[in-house]
Amino acid sequence: MSVPHYDLAVIGSGPAGQKGAIAAAKLRKKVVVIDRRDMVGGCSLHLGTIPSKTMREAILYLSGIRQRTFYGADYRAKEDISPKDLSQRVDIVLQREIDVVKAQLKRNGVSAINGLAHFADPNTIEVENPDGAVSKITADTILVACGTRPAENPLIVTDGERVFNSDQLLHLPLIPRDLIVVGGGVIGLEYAAMMTALNTRVTLIDQRPTLLDFADREVIESLCHHLREEGVTFRLGEKVLSVTRDGDRVIAQLESGKTVKGDALLYAVGRQANSDLLHLGAAGISADERGKIAVNEYFQTSVPHIYAAGDVIGFPALAATSMEQGRLAIAHSLGLPMKTAPHLLPFGIYTIPEISMVGRTEQELTAAKVRYEVGLSRFGELARAQMIGDERGMLKLLFDPDTLRLLGVHVMGESATEIIHIGQAVLSMGGTIDYFRDTVFNYPTLAEAYKVAALNGMNKVA
């Protein structure tokens, strides 16, 4: 029996794999995607971006947090919020998105194989099917987009009952009164903010003295100030030595001698790439201790016809960037022109309030000895923000004081991840901030913050 051969084989059907597969299929290439039946759409759809952001929307609605400016701090759309209230919305969105992914792959003629893949040699992949049988395929080009899973720590054993990793938190058996969050990265901060909105007291512990160093310092300080006002306690520069259970209580012992107690604990320190399941050595590829695969600017591994994209190659590990990486990898493999601006990729962090950024930060510009000025808009100045009850938001424009060229945009507040794209468009065209001054924005909108910030900045250099 002959072994099926494909122009492109994709390991993983998450954002990177899906977009890479479809890009090749649209060019009449014979494409196959390999993934487990229960993971169509990848970690992003099942355990990460889609369910966590859907849970966030459910929390925002049910907690009534958006309306508390008008109806009081105790206002809630639903008094007794249960885990089922949260999971119900997640399940509906999840099934719809699974159907969308399946339909897109089918519509573009992409074949699908259910099972666990690993390399037999640089061009051959073995697939262990759900029934235990093993089949083989070969391909001219292979895209590794196998995603990641929560990193494990032998000192913190997650049980899914009181001690959770970020995947398990999506299936909470209870809403804790006190939650300990270990890890102050994007995932830890997002879940800390969500649980705080449910009136859970959160203690966030991180070994680093500062959080999210890649983001604008002022924005992060404002976010942390807001979270403190909502009841989050930060224990920064602290290391967790052990986690134990005492009945329904979880106890975290810190290296400093402090003890932190809660009803539950979330361990959100790092991710482990699933590449350790792929037998990379058989393909002549290696990975680091976290399973991350090194690639060049074209997303090629050390074996030229094998590409890697998405979380498996590390930072920034965002669904949006993974989609683009998958597409660009396939474009290069087919000899097509690649055009992207890695320094202009937007970041969206779905805390409450959310934050988003594109371009350079103040600390980056200072380190590079680049002169800049700041234009600032506070959402409290905007009629639209007053209407929706967001007085804590802000928008910053970083620009060259001589040429007025835009250098970076940083937003905190309602719809930050949406309105950031206005700044992204101007940045990508090498535009100047007088564009915002001279442009008419719908009124009242949050987008008007760009005009306010531009006028504020230009007043400083007039």
Residues 239-256: tens digit of each pLDDT? 999 999 998 999 999 999
Average pLDDT of the residues in 164-191: 92
What's the predicted TM-score (pTM) here? 0.92
| pLDDT the model gives residue 294 | 96
If one compares 169 and 196, the residue with the highest pLDDT of the two is: 196
Looking at per-residue pLDDT, the higher value among 26 and 48 belongs to 26
pLDDT at 169: 85
Q: Please tell me the predicted confidence (pLDDT) of residue 109.
A: 96
Q: Average pLDDT, stretch 291-300? A: 95
CATH code of 163-268, in short, is 3.50.50.60
pLDDT reported for residue 224: 95
Confidence of residue 2 (pLDDT cuts 50, 70, 90): confident
Residue 342: predicted pLDDT? 66
pLDDT at 124: 97
Share of the chain above pLDDT 90, in %: 82
Q: Report the pLDDT value the prediction gives residue 205, as an integer from 0 to 100.
A: 98
CA-CA-CA-CA torsion for 250, 251, 252, 255, nearest 10 degrees?
Answer: -170
- Across residues 53-60, what is the average pLDDT? 94
Please report, for the chain, the start and end positions of each structural domain, with discontinuous segments joined by +.
Answer: 5-149+272-342, 163-268, 353-461
What's the mean pLDDT in 198-217?
95
Average pLDDT taken over every residue of the chain: 93
The answer to whether the beta carbons of residues 403 and 411 sit under 8 Å apart is no
Residue 176 and residue 162: Cα distance in Å, rounded? 9
Distance CA 251, CA 133 (A): 45
Mean pLDDT of 25-51: 91
Domains 5-149+272-342 and 353-461 share a fold: no
Maximum alpha-carbon separation in the chain: 77
Per-residue pLDDT at 1: 64
Q: Indicate whether 38 pLDDT > 90.
A: no
What stretch of H or E contains 188?
helix 186-197
Q: Compute the distance between CA of residue 28 and CA of residue 367 in angstroms, rounded to an integer.
A: 47
What fold characterizes domain 5-149+272-342?
A: FAD/NAD(P)-binding domain (3.50.50)
Whole-number pLDDT of residue 65: 85
Q: Is the pLDDT of residue 357 over 70?
A: yes
What topology does CATH give the domain 353-461?
Enolase-like; domain 1 (3.30.390)
CB 212, CB 189: distance < 8 Å: yes
- Residue written as tokens 């952001």? 53
Stretch 425-436: mean pLDDT: 96
Residue 172's pLDDT is what? 84
Q: What CA–CA distances, in Å, run from 416 to 163, 358, 422? A: 32, 11, 11
Rounded to an integer, the average pLDDT of 250-278 is 95
Strand order in the sheet with 201-206: 163-165, 264-267, 178-182, 201-206, 233-236
Percent of the chain with pLDDT over 70: 99
Counting Cβ atoms within 10 Å, is residue 385 exposed (0-12), middle (13-18) or buried (19+)?
buried
